[in-house]
Amino acid sequence: MLESTTGQEFNATLLEVARSISGLQYRMGDWMTSYWFGEFYGDYYPWLYHVDLEWQYAWGDGEGSLYLWDPDVQWRWTHRNLFPWAWEYADSQWVHLGAEQP
């Protein structure tokens, strides 16, 4: 069993999230944060509840790429060097994700 920096044990679900999203830190109550992806609840992984994006089906490679599926817009791809921008496959365009747009 792996432990967080606070000494709490990671469960199997959190290990899957950690393998998928780079730069992950464990927080209280199955909430996690990634320095680039932000805060989210990962207890139902691969479904994540992101504070800005709400429910997303997520798959990442652990190297920075992250695929997100949203029932309204289908698949998007982003990367730790690009987020909050993402490629939206259905409309073949770059979109800004999150509450604030530049």
Summarize pLDDT for 50-84 with one digit per residue, the tens.
999 999 999 888 788 899 999 999 999 999 999 99
4 belongs to a structural domain: no
Looking at every residue in the chain, the average pLDDT score rounds to 80
7 belongs to a structural domain: no
Q: What is the rounded CA–CA span in Å between residue 90 and residue 20?
A: 23
Q: Taking the model in full, what pTM does it have?
A: 0.76
Range of the domain at 62: 12-96
What are 57's strand-pairing partners?
47, 69
Tokens of 56: 């997303």
101 belongs to a structural domain: no
30 belongs to a structural domain: yes
Per the CB < 8 A criterion, the answer to whether 97 and 91 are in contact is no
Number of structural domains in the chain: 1
5 belongs to a structural domain: no
